[in-house]
């Protein structure tokens, strides 16, 4: 760890995240080799600094190094830029020109955004990685070079391989040692440290006192998703340093200067569960429906008891109503005082009920009951959802926002369900 702290200080890296330390440790370990390295991570996380660390800690540190953005070079000229060309090779080639692989022999070439490299250029690069040889554009002479390749990308190269936009053999050749640089939202504890560093730097640049954040602004800063990562955080620190009138920044001040800072880094369900076949919002509706069914069952039990009481019926047994404490004929010594019985229990124990069991009501000594027809309930999730949504909309006079709150789902989910069930 002491060695990593020295490297962080040398290269200006701020943070104590475990993911960051792991990436740095891999870069340090691979620096003394000539292995190809593939650095992955979102845009703005600082992939180029890792290439500098690898080069400056390697035996090649006294030779040249260069960073090349493959996405910034036109497809028609990238081969010439990388491998050079002969005079007259194409229109405008008025003289011979050395490419980067020739002029940086013995050094390091950092190929940023490698996923944007054209397929025909990938063929030339693969040959360099495998044999150390290449030819200039318009020439047949083979030139040898000893260059270390460090590549970086912010896209999933495996997906590009599947789509035929990146060579699979080149991917495996580049991915000898993978290094993943974590996104800023994965280093939540480092966000404020980085902000303070940038604030101090801009204070020195603009000759002002560094800005500070109060507790609420601090929390707001850490809860933001940071899609632009460190680059975006640096821009925010500069805006706040220049535009803020006070040096102690509150959450309100931060929102006024950077309105989108209110966006939260919250998890979201992006697709349905392939096993259960329903998403989280649909399960919420189902749970609410089950609770309403339970209440309806309690109402039914209360109604049955009310009928027993109003008709002065003697009950031998009634399964599921044991919590009502009804006396039976066998232990009755005097008439039942029905006035003290509750009309409806608050929460009867539904687990005590036995399925499909109905006990007869005893009138005198004769059992009188009619045959019951058992009707299966509609257990379709879609139908029950539709019923609940109709109830909520009717209850709130068609106001979707209030209906969504009552159903405890998002308005977006409610709109989707209304459209799905054609409840317009």
pLDDT, one tens digit per residue, over 49-72 is 999 999 999 999 999 999 999 999
Mean predicted lDDT score pLDDT of the chain: 81
Mean pLDDT across 316-325: 46
Same domain, 29 and 59: yes
Q: Are 225 and 184 in contact (CB under 8 A)?
A: no
pLDDT, one tens digit per residue, over 216-264 is 999 999 999 999 999 999 999 999 999 998 999 999 999 998 888 887 6
What pLDDT does 327 receive?
A: 43
Same domain, 339 and 394: no
Three-state DSSP at 200 gives: helix
Same domain, 51 and 104: yes
What pLDDT does 334 receive?
A: 44
Pairing of β 65-69 and β 108-112: parallel
- What is the count of structural domains for the chain? 4
Tell me if 396 is assigned to some domain: yes
Within 95-147, strands assigned E span 108-112, 133-135, 142-144
Q: Which of 120-124, 180-184, 239-243, 261-265 is least confident?
A: 261-265
Tell which of 182, 214, 232 closes a domain: 182
Cα separation, 154 vs 66, in Å, equals 19
Residue 280 has pLDDT above 70, yes or no: no
Q: Does the global pTM surpass 0.85?
A: no
Same domain, 103 and 210: no
What pLDDT does 357 receive?
A: 45
Same domain, 25 and 123: yes
Mean pLDDT across 368-388: 61
Burial letters 5-35, b for 16+ CB under 10 A, else e: eebbeeeebbbebeebeebbebbeebbeeee
CATH code assigned at 216: 1.10.8.60
Same domain, 45 and 119: yes
Same domain, 200 and 320: no
Tell me if 268 is assigned to some domain: no
Q: Are 41 and 181 in contact (CB under 8 A)?
A: yes
Scan for tokens 């706040």, then name that residue: 240
Handedness of CA 100, 105, 110, 114 (dihedral sign): positive
Q: Which domain holds residue 14?
A: 2-182
Tell me if 269 is assigned to some domain: no
Tell me if 374 is assigned to some domain: no
Tell me if 295 is assigned to some domain: yes
């Amino acid at each position: 760890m002491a060695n990593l702290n020295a490297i962080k200080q040398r290269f200006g890296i701020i943070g104590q995240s475990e993911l960051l330390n792991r990436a740095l440790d891999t870069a340090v370990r691979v620096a003394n080799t000539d292995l190809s390295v593939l650095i992955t991570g979102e845009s703005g996380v600082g992939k180029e600094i890792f290439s500098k660390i690898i080069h400056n800690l390697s035996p090649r540190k006294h030779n040249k190094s260069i960073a090349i953005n493959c996405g910034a070079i036109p497809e028609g000229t990238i081969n010439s830029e990388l491998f050079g060309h002969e005079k007259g090779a194409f229109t405008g080639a008025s003289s011979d020109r050395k490419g980067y692989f020739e002029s940086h022999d013995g050094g390091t070439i950092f190929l940023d955004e490698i996923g944007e490299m054209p397929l025909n250029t990938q063929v030339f690069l693969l040959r360099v990685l495998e044999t150390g040889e290449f030819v200039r554009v318009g020439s047949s002479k083979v030139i040898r070079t000893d260059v270390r390749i460090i590549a970086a990308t912010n896209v999933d190269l495996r997906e590009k391989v599947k789509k035929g936009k990146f060579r699979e053999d080149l991917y495996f050749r580049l991915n000898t040692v993978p290094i993943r640089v974590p996104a800023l939202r994965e280093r939540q504890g480092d966000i404020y440290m980085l902000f303070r560093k940038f604030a101090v730097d801009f204070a020195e640049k603009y000759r002002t006192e560094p800005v500070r954040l109060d507790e609420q602004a601090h929390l707001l800063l850490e809860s933001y998703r940071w899609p632009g990562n460190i680059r975006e955080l640096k821009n925010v620190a500069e805006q706040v340093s220049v535009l803020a009138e006070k040096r102690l920044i509150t959450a309100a001040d931060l929102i006024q200067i950077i309105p989108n800072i209110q966006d939260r880094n919250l998890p979201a369900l992006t697709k349905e569960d392939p096993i259960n076949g329903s998403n989280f919002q649909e399960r919420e509706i189902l749970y609410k429906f089950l609770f309403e069914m339970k209440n309806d069952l309690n109402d039914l039990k209360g109604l049955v008891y009310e009928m027993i009481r109003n008709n002065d019926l003697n009950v031998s047994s009634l399964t599921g109503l044991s919590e009502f404490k009804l006396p039976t004929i066998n232990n009755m010594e005097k008439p039942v005082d029905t006035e003290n019985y509750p009309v409806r229990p608050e929460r009867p124990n539904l687990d005590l009920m036995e399925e499909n069991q109905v006990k007869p009501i005893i009138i005198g000594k004769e059992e009188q009951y009619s045959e019951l027809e058992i009707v299966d309930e509609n257990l379709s999730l879609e139908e029950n959802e539709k019923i609940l949504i109709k109830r909520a909309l009717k209850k709130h006079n068609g106001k979707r926002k209030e209906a969504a709150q009552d159903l405890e789902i998002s308005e977006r989910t409610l709109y989707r369900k209304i459209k799905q069930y054609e409840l317009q």
